[in-house]
Structure 1
Amino acid sequence: MIAIHAIFNCIFLCSYWLLIVLVTFRVLIKRRAVPSSMAWLLVIYVLPLIGIITYLLFGESNLGKQRSTRSKIAWSSTMRRIQILKTYKHIFSTEHSAIASSLFKLCEHRQGIGALRGNHIQLLKKTDDTIISLIKDIELAQHSIDMVFYIWESGGLVDHVIKKLIIAAKRGIRCRIILDSAGCANFFSSSCPNIMRQAGVNIVEALHVNLLRVFLRRMDLRQHRKMILIDDHIAYTGSMNMVDPQLFKKNIGIGQWVDIMVRIDGPAASAMSIIFSSDWEIETGQHVLFPLLFNTHIVAAHKLISTGHTIQIIPSGPGCPEGIIHQALLISLYEARKKLIITTPYLVPSDDLLHAICTAAQRGVEVHIIIPQNNDSVLVNWASRAFFSELLKAGVLIHQFQNGLLHVKSVLIDQQLSLIGTVNLDIRSLWLNFEITLVIDSKDFSNELEKTQENYIAHSKTIDPKKWANRPYWERIVERLFYFLSPLL
């Protein structure tokens, strides 16, 4: 009996260490940032079983076999659609500002598509204004309405959108909606999806959270885009989820969520429709042909708005060029010469981005970062604080917004180049989730965005570097703990 027990213990220990060695090998063989690899190895060796399970769940961007196959097929379809779009050479920008030149060249090289001109754009600064505008566009829709959202919760203003979508579907408008499974858990547990589907609205639950498949696909990979398309020539994107801010998470004590959206009328909307078609094909396996009026919309938009704005669309996430949004942000930050304003709810930048921001301030650029005083993630809130000292020492002005959760994701460079979309300055948005970013090369639009950002600063408290240096030591210890875990957040 003792011999059998000893053999069993030997087998267990050998299997245990073999598993640790195999997972260590997987960590090391993946090309990722050194801090991220070191953080994973520490977790695995300090808390072996928990660390191994955590790594298998969240350590790699595993889409799952079926989704990976669909993603490859969808990417081929996307490239064919891009080639068709590129035959309309008159909609592509050949003249743009010097500050946008490098970024546009990068995107054209890596994505296969350049910046699009002739767009009318409108900055919508309040959720109420966005909903009112959206409802009008839904009522005027002639062919199709497509939407992608991370969070959708019924109630308040959102119920008006649902009613209009049901009416549109009943009058023959094709309505398709992609909603993230985790972000929309409350919505999918309600009766609303069935009511909408019965009316003809096609709703797809993206990236299902399935406990039976936790080791076959990464569960925290999320569809984080916020995107609306009307008839493939009107589009919306920005930071707003489909929620009523007066009702959403009102009991957690951080105030209402503050968001912005951009409404586009023009060729850039056609590029966004390509992104939606790819997402739809990945989720459903259904190959979607270009709309019949695709050509008409492009030509009409260009003729109507011949002096419109130039926009580059950057989708990111699995299936897209790896690390492209990270590259785009780095190029933009290093192009800054006078003034840089960043707005983000979650500030956990990569080492490269942190260095670029600090370098900008140290070479004389006026750098502002606007973040909420409090947000809905305690972990990220503490991790963000760990970066303050280095930023403040470099001369960066950090403003903590006091009037709710500032959820806006924007970067403004030298009052000329604007980046607006769904990307937070954290590892998850930069390297993992499905995201979308607009790059707008326009002084007029940038001036409007700057006024909005200055309004946020006016309702913020600027951190005093001296007071920050004298904060309690226990806070510094907690900050450093979460700083070490920041590559995993």
Structure 2
Amino acid sequence: MLVDSGVLALLSAATVVVVHSLGILHAAHAVMNVRSSQGAIAWGISLITFPWLAIPLYWILGRTKFHGYAEALRSVYAQHHKLVRETYTEIAKFKVAPPKKLAGLQPLAEAFTGIPFTSGNAAQLLIDGQQTYEAMLRAIAQATDYILLQSYIVNDDQAGNDFKQALIAKAKQAVRIYFIYDEIGSNKLSRSYIKSLRKNGIQVSAFHTTKGRGNRFQLNFRNHRKILVVDGETAFVGGLNIGDEYLGKNPRLSPWRDTHMMLQGPTVQSLQNSFLRDWYWATRKVLDVNWQIKVNRQTNQTALVLPTGPADRLKACNLFFVNAINQAQTRLWIATPYFVPDDSTLTALKLAAMRGVDVRIILPNRPDHLFVYLCSFSYYTEMEAIAIKLYRYKNGFMHQKIMLIDQDMAGVGTVNLDNRSFFLNFEVMGFVADPHFVESVEKMLQSDLAASVAVDLFEYDRKPLWFKLAVRVSRLLTPLL
């Protein structure tokens, strides 16, 4: 039966009114909830002007708060409050003050995670894929009770197979194994890989970033953490995922430059706690693990593990980094593959340089993500007059995430200097306040600087108009992410 043209016109008009009304409602939501005024304005204008396109994009990209995670943890804490209290009490026995100049970071660490800087730790720097994978596989081979493994990206290639076979071998020895991957980061991971692990008794789960009320369309969230804990005694954290490219086998980005570290001491329990929280979110299961702290009194290093994410009550990652930058008095060296800082971080970097701090930022010269690579050029003009030194790493692709503050503290972990790490990703950093570890990081970064070229900040002014336009468009879009 043919529909009257007048009815069609009425339905079309009603649909337009409904969609534009929804656009206005979503714009109001953006104004109330988007993290920055620039982002709120960008979303508001888009949602009102182009609601047909902007509304679905807003469902996917618009929110910065991950729903349900904190509530789930409060529930499990209520059920296991005695164990939780005992665990935190045990770690707190090793509480120690960081260097005096960094004393302001201690209350922040406790406010964000409940866990302070601790003594009795041992941190070993692991440079690049070969050294890191060898150390991780060796630790896996020595496991006697359980293994906790978490990675943002897991590839079904030679490196991925090496880890798979190592895990299967331990599972056959009755070692309990729990493995989390991010389903968006590991979207190319084959079902056969996961099936093979499960067939051999290994418990595997995606993190489920779209799980829970309000998260269904939120593909913008990621669990970017890379953690390995063995028997509650040895742990690893850093920038390397699991795949051949981290061994330099991607011709376009080879050689691959990255950094990880191995930890012993109370920080192992901190990393273990981070893993268990993610495991409970993904599976709603509580694991039986070792909470007995094995102290390393020989090195007795002061260290902190800082897990952060979009479920935090406060913007912990951003606030901690800004405060850490503000503590620097003589030196602030940062290595990051992605440089898209928010206004507060950029202001802190500028102020550090203006008060005489030696601020050096090492970026890759080869892009693996064109958007963020272009965006980094937009900061050149803001740094021309304030003595921030930018370097482009020339010897392959640099993926490490490092912060070096004065002679006092070095950080190694998963946090990039960008909006995604600060506001959208579940991340984790290890900070070590020890002169020997700081010296090893300084030596490593000096080698990286020698393989880099200092950026002429006026280079941007000499770029063609089309390049500048692409850079400015990239910069304008950052508040939407």
TM-score normalised by length of structure 2: 0.93
Tell me the distance in 2 between the aligned counterparts of 1:455 and 1:258. Answer: 12
- Relative to structure 1, the CA distance from residue 64 to residue 335 in structure 2 (aligned partners, 3 Å threshold; closer, same or farther) is closer
Q: For 2:87, what is the secondary structure of its paired residue?
A: helix
C-alpha distance after superposition, 1:22-81 (max 9, x if no partner): 11111012152111212222332443311111001221146566x675344346579765
Tell me the distance in 2 between the aligned counterparts of 1:419 and 1:78. Answer: 32
Structure 1 residue 234: Cα displacement: 0.5
1:14 aligned to which of 14, 17, 23:
17
| 2:95 alignment counterpart | 93
Q: Does 1:283 align with 2:282?
A: yes
Asked if the contact 2:66/2:311 (under 8 Å) is kept, the reply is no
Tell me the distance in 2 between the aligned counterparts of 1:179 and 1:386. Answer: 34
| 1:136 alignment counterpart | 138
Structure 1 residue 14: Cα displacement: 2.0
Q: For 1:154, what is the secondary structure of its paired residue?
A: coil
| 1:124 alignment counterpart | 126
Asked if the contact 1:62/1:216 (under 8 Å) is kept, the reply is no
Q: Does 1:37 align with 2:36?
A: no
| 1:54 alignment counterpart | 57
Asked if the contact 1:62/1:218 (under 8 Å) is kept, the reply is no
Q: For 1:159, what is the secondary structure of its paired residue?
A: helix
- Relative to structure 1, the CA distance from residue 79 to residue 116 in structure 2 (aligned partners, 3 Å threshold; closer, same or farther) is farther
- What stretches of structure 2 of length at least 5 have no aligned partner? none
Q: For 1:187, what is the secondary structure of its paired residue?
A: coil
Q: How many residues align structurally?
A: 477
Deviates more, 1:32-41 or 1:173-182: 32-41
- Relative to structure 1, the CA distance from residue 361 to residue 227 in structure 2 (aligned partners, 3 Å threshold; closer, same or farther) is same
| 1:216 alignment counterpart | 216
RMSD over aligned CA atoms reads: 2.4
| 2:116 alignment counterpart | 114
In the alignment, residue 63 of structure 2 is paired with which amino acid? Answer: E
Asked if the contact 1:341/1:413 (under 8 Å) is kept, the reply is yes
Q: Does 1:400 align with 2:401?
A: no
Deviates more, 1:126-135 or 1:169-178: 126-135
- Relative to structure 1, the CA distance from residue 312 to residue 80 in structure 2 (aligned partners, 3 Å threshold; closer, same or farther) is farther
| 1:26 alignment counterpart | 29
Structure 1 residue 399: Cα displacement: 0.3
| 1:194 alignment counterpart | 195
Q: Does 1:409 align with 2:401?
A: yes
- Relative to structure 1, the CA distance from residue 369 to residue 246 in structure 2 (aligned partners, 3 Å threshold; closer, same or farther) is closer
In the alignment, residue 187 of structure 1 is paired with which amino acid? Answer: L
Q: For 2:420, what is the secondary structure of its paired residue?
A: helix
- Relative to structure 1, the CA distance from residue 25 to residue 130 in structure 2 (aligned partners, 3 Å threshold; closer, same or farther) is same
Deviates more, 1:119-128 or 1:102-111: 102-111
| 1:294 alignment counterpart | 291
Q: For 1:232, what is the secondary structure of its paired residue?
A: coil
In the alignment, residue 30 of structure 2 is paired with which amino acid? Answer: V
Deviates more, 1:35-44 or 1:126-135: 35-44
Q: Does 1:375 align with 2:367?
A: yes
Q: For 2:340, what is the secondary structure of its paired residue?
A: coil
- What stretches of structure 1 of length at least 5 have no aligned partner? none
Asked if the contact 2:20/2:51 (under 8 Å) is kept, the reply is no
| 1:203 alignment counterpart | 204
In the alignment, residue 260 of structure 1 is paired with which amino acid? Answer: T
In the alignment, residue 461 of structure 1 is paired with which amino acid? Answer: V
- Relative to structure 1, the CA distance from residue 162 to residue 52 in structure 2 (aligned partners, 3 Å threshold; closer, same or farther) is same
- Relative to structure 1, the CA distance from residue 425 to residue 249 in structure 2 (aligned partners, 3 Å threshold; closer, same or farther) is farther
Tell me the distance in 2 between the aligned counterparts of 1:96 and 1:61. Answer: 31
In the alignment, residue 267 of structure 1 is paired with which amino acid? Answer: P
Tell me the distance in 2 between the aligned counterparts of 1:115 and 1:62. Answer: 27
Residue correspondence of structure 1 range 136-285 to structure 2 within 5 A = 136-189=138-191, 191-207=192-208, 216-245=216-245, 250=250, 253-285=252-284
Tell me the distance in 2 between the aligned counterparts of 1:308 and 1:37. Answer: 47
Give me the identity figure in percent. 26
Tell me the distance in 2 between the aligned counterparts of 1:273 and 1:20. Answer: 43
Structure 1 residue 476: Cα displacement: 1.7
- Relative to structure 1, the CA distance from residue 235 to residue 430 in structure 2 (aligned partners, 3 Å threshold; closer, same or farther) is same
Structure 1 residue 209: Cα displacement: 6.9
2:437 aligned to which of 436, 440, 445:
445
Deviates more, 1:380-389 or 1:155-164: 155-164
Tell me the distance in 2 between the aligned counterparts of 1:154 and 1:288. Answer: 27
Tell me the distance in 2 between the aligned counterparts of 1:79 and 1:60. Answer: 31
